[in-house]
């Protein structure tokens, strides 16, 4: 791409001049992208000018250099965490979001038990996908609104902290994301990369692993798009000096046994206790795999087999559970959840059972439909300001590939009132497809990048 406005490089360019360059297919220079992001943050670009620029980027495209410059400018629109007083490799996992996607709650304490520090900034659920912060808040007292100082102290004390994004982290992204949402410019890979990586790079990491979901419950549903997103995220991370890798993983069906907030925490504490529930095996497998990748990147394990062995041993000997207990106490939560995770399960909920109409094999258990059903009964939010009912959820009693008989229970919805079940029963019934033949086996981890 040519820069059609480079003669203006050393002059102050007006927003419309910078927009013109991108509108006409030119390549923006670092200074021009910097001026755009400065204008987003200081209010000197009007929303209509920012929106026009986003649309020009969306339609004309961004080169790899522009994508990385945009990421850098968005990153430095806020603070980069300084964890230099913690003398351990700093690592994190980020998922592009899915249904029943709860691995953070296993991975963070597990990594801490393996001797790395995890400054995990997480988000809330929106749409059909859940969010780590909502899940954590189902533990009585758990505080996810840590100040930067509290966050740093907790990472230093117990090896990991999990908190929401403060206003100081990549503030440009908040404004840009809201305008992308309103102008139909979200689904463009370089903009997604800049948005995700500007926030992750602010954690001051040595290594990062990305879990890029693919399938109906994923943000990027098509496999090729998911791979392209994973490749772009990895390149941007590595270009920024953070050892970055990605796994593209299956999100056709929910991950694990439960979908919901408290029930997902319950599932994770059971895993940390070495009491993995039937249907949770994929949660355990993916948590260990993502952890192991980071242990190799951080130089803690010599190869992936040794890393898996180390991670499994820290689950079996209870050290990961103890890290979670320490963290709960430090983040204000009732740490007895580690001894009796059943305390998370609400009494008196209505149960609605989805059953199989025929004999056969489960060929589909559509993640998006199940995620949407949980949102509709109050377990998620459609608008950022909605409240979440932490208790409600769904239990996946049968997973893709399982053999079932007519009348067998495929899943159980836990809701507040029978009318809630009526609103989603058809959606849940339609989420399943039962075939006479078993489906071809599909890997949980589809590609490593």
Active-site residues, by number, are 94, 173, 180, 195, 199
Q: Are 92 and 208 in contact (CB under 8 A)?
A: yes
If phi over 0 gives left and psi between -120 and 50 gives alpha, with beta otherwise, what is residue 61?
A: left
Q: Which residues pair with residue 198 across a beta bridge?
A: none
Residue 8 vs 186, nearer CB to ligand URA: 186
Neighbours of 148 (CB within 10 A): 14
Instruction: Report if residue 226 touches ligand URA, rule: CB under 6 A.
Output: no
Query: Whole-number minimum distance, CB 221 to ligand URA, in Å?
Result: 14
Rounded to the nearest 10°, the torsion over CA 273, 276, 281, 282 is -50
Build a one-symbol-per-residue string for 145-184: x at contacts with ligand URA by CB under 6 A, - elsewhere.
Answer: --------------------------------x-------
Where does 84-188 have alpha helices with state H?
Answer: 104-113, 132-136, 148-158, 171-182
Of residues 116, 192, 230, 404, which one binds ligand URA by CB under 6 A? 192
Residue 5 vs 215, nearer CB to ligand URA: 215
CA distance 151 to 251: 31
Count residues contacting ligand URA (CB under 6 A)? 6
* Residue 110 CA: distances (Å) to CA of 119, 283, 318: 13, 13, 10
Residue 179 vs 259, nearer CB to ligand URA: 179
Query: Whole-number minimum distance, CB 205 to ligand URA, in Å?
Result: 16
Residue 169 vs 207, nearer CB to ligand URA: 169
Build a one-symbol-per-residue string for 23-62: x at contacts with ligand URA by CB under 6 A, - elsewhere.
Answer: ----------------------------------------
Stretch that binds ligand URA, among 22-30, 75-83, 131-139, 191-199 (CB under 6 A): 191-199
Sign of CA dihedral 121, 124, 129, 132: positive
Instruction: Report if residue 218 touches ligand URA, rule: CB under 6 A.
Output: no
Residue nearest to ligand URA (CB): 195
Rounded to 10°, the helix 319-330/148-158 angle is: 150
Instruction: Report if residue 195 touches ligand URA, rule: CB under 6 A.
Output: yes
Q: Are 286 and 104 in contact (CB under 8 A)?
A: no
CA distance 143 to 246: 29
Residue 36 vs 352, nearer CB to ligand URA: 36
Instruction: Report if residue 196 touches ligand URA, rule: CB under 6 A.
Output: yes
Instruction: Report if residue 121 touches ligand URA, rule: CB under 6 A.
Output: no
- What residue ranges bind ligand URA (CB under 6 A)? 177, 186, 192, 195-196, 219
């Amino acid at each position: 791409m040519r820069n059609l406005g480079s003669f203006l490089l050393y002059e102050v360019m007006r927003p419309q001049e910078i927009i013109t360059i991108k509108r006409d297919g030119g390549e923006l220079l670092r200074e021009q992208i910097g001026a755009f992001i400065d204008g987003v943050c200081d209010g000197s670009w009007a929303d209509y000018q920012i929106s026009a620029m986003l649309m020009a980027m969306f339609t004309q495209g961004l080169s790899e250099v522009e994508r990385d410059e945009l990421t850098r400018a968005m990153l430095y629109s806020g603070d980069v965490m300084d964890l230099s007083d913690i003398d351990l490799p700093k690592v994190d996992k980020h998922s592009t979001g899915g249904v029943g996607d709860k691995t953070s709650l296993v991975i963070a304490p597990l990594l801490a038990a393996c001797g790395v520090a995890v400054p995990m900034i997480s988000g809330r659920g929106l749409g059909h996908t859940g969010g780590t912060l909502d899940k954590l808040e189902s533990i009585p007292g758990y505080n996810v609104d840590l100040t930067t100082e509290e966050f740093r102290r907790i990472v230093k004390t117990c090896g990991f902290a999990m908190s929401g994004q403060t206003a100081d982290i990549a503030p440009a992204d908040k404004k840009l994301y809201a305008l992308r949402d309103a102008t139909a410019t979200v689904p463009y890979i370089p903009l997604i990369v800049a948005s995700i990586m500007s926030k992750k790079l602010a954690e001051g990491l040595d290594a990062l692993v990305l879990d890029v979901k693919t399938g109906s419950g994923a943000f990027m549903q098509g496999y090729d798009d998911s791979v392209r997103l994973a490749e772009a995220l990895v390149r941007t991370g590595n270009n920024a000096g953070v050892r970055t890798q990605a796994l593209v993983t299956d999100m056709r069906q929910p991950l694990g046994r439960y979908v919901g907030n408290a029930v997902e925490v319950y599932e994770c504490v059971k895993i940390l206790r070495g009491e993995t529930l039937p249907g949770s095996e994929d949660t355990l497998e993916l948590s260990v795999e993502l952890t192991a990748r980071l242990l190799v990147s951080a130089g803690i394990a010599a190869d992936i087999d040794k890393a898996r062995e180390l991670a499994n041993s820290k689950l079996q000997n209870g050290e990961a559970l103890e890290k979670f207990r320490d963290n709960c106490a430090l983040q204000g939560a009732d740490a007895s959840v580690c001894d009796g995770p059943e305390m998370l399960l609400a009494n008196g909920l209505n149960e609605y059972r989805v059953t199989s109409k025929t004999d056969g094999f489960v060929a589909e258990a559509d993640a998006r439909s199940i995620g949407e059903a949980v949102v509709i009964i109050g377990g998620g939010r459609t608008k950022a300001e909605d409240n979440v009912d932490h208790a409600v959820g769904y239990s996946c009693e049968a997973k893709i590939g399982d053999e079932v008989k007519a009348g067998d229970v495929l899943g159980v919805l836990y809701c507040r009132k029978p009318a809630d079940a009526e609103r989603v029963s058809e959606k849940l019934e339609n989420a399943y497809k039962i075939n006479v033949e078993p489906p071809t086996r599909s890997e949980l981890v589809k590609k490593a990048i």
